[in-house]
Amino acid sequence: MTFFESLRIALRSLSANKLRASLTMLGIIIGVMAVIAMLSIGRGAQVAITSQITSIGTNLLYIRPGSTREAGVQTAQGSAATLTLEDAEALIGLPNIVGVAPQVESFGQLAYLGNNTNGRVLGITPEYLDAMNTTLATGEFISDANVTTRAAVIVLGAGVATTLFDTADPIGQMVRVNNQNFRVIGVMEAKGGTGFMNVDSQVYVPLTTALSRLNRGGQFRGGNSVSVINVKITDASLQDAVVQDISNVLRERHRVQFQDDFSIQSQQDILNTANQVTGTLTIFLGGVAAISLIVGGIGIMNIMLVSVTERTREIGIRKAIGARKSDIMVQFLTEAVILSFSGGILGILFGALIARLISGFQMGTTTLNTVVDLDAVLLAVIFSAGVGLFFGSYPANRAASLHPIDALRYE
- What is the domain partition of the chain in residue ranges? 3-53+274-409, 81-260
pLDDT interval class at 54 (50, 70, 90): low
Confidence of residue 149 (pLDDT cuts 50, 70, 90): very high
Radius of gyration of the chain (CA): 32
pLDDT band at 73 (very low <50, low <70, confident <90, very high): very low
Whether pLDDT at 361 is above 90: no
Which class for 255: exposed (0-12), middle (13-18), buried (19 or more C-beta within 10 A)?
A: exposed
Q: What is the pLDDT of residues 241-282, one digit of tens each?
A: 888 888 888 888 888 777 777 888 877 777 777 778 777 877
Q: State the pLDDT at residue 72.
A: 46
**Nearest of 326, 337, 345 to residue 392 by alpha carbon:** 337
- In this prediction, residue 152 carries a pLDDT of 92
Q: What spatial distance separates the first Cα and last Cα of the chain, rounded to whole Å?
A: 27
Most confidently predicted of 28-42, 165-179, 295-309, 397-411: 165-179
CB-CB contact of 187 with 204 (8 Å): no
The pLDDT score that the predictor gives to residue 71 is 43
Q: How confident is the model over 312-339, as a mean pLDDT?
A: 75
- Span 160-184, mean pLDDT? 91
Query: What is the pLDDT, as a whole number, of residue 407?
Result: 55
Alpha-carbon distances of 116 from 21, 59, 111, 207, 372, rounded to whole Å: 57, 36, 4, 23, 38
Over range 176-190, report the average pLDDT. 91
Mean pLDDT of the region 72-92:
69
pLDDT in tens, 201-255: 899 999 989 888 887 656 556 567 888 888 888 887 888 888 888 888 888 888 8
Considering only CA atoms, which of 320, 346, 343 is closest in space to residue 392? 343
Please report the pLDDT score of residue 173 as a whole number. Answer: 93
Task: Look at strands 202-206 and 228-233 and give their pairing.
Answer: unpaired
* In the predicted structure, residue 179 carries a pLDDT above the cut 80: yes
* pTM of full prediction above 0.85: no
Can you give the length of the chain in residues? 411
Q: Phi, psi (5° rounding) for residue 336?
A: -65, -40
pLDDT of amino acid 140: 93
pLDDT at 211: 86
pLDDT of residue 127 exceeding 70, the answer is: yes
Q: Does residue 143 register a pLDDT over 70?
A: yes
Q: Is the pLDDT of residue 175 over 90?
A: yes
User: Pairing state of beta strands 115-124 and 202-206?
Assistant: parallel
The answer to whether 24 and 300 have CB atoms below 8 angstroms apart is yes
Give the chain's mean pLDDT. 79
Say which amino acid occupies 354: I
- pLDDT range class, residue 197, cuts 50, 70, 90: low
More confident residue, 184 or 318: 184
What gap in Å lies between CA 244 and CA 97, rounded to an integer?
12
Instruction: Inform me whether the pLDDT recorded for 46 exceeds 70.
Output: yes
Q: Tell how far CA 340 is from the center of its chain.
A: 30
Residue 410 has pLDDT above 70, yes or no: no
Burial 55-77 (b: 16+ CB within 10 A, else e): ebeebbbbbbbbbeeeeeeeeee
Query: What whole-number percentage of the chain has pLDDT above 90?
Result: 13
> With contact defined as beta carbons under 8 Å apart, do 195 and 366 qualify?
yes
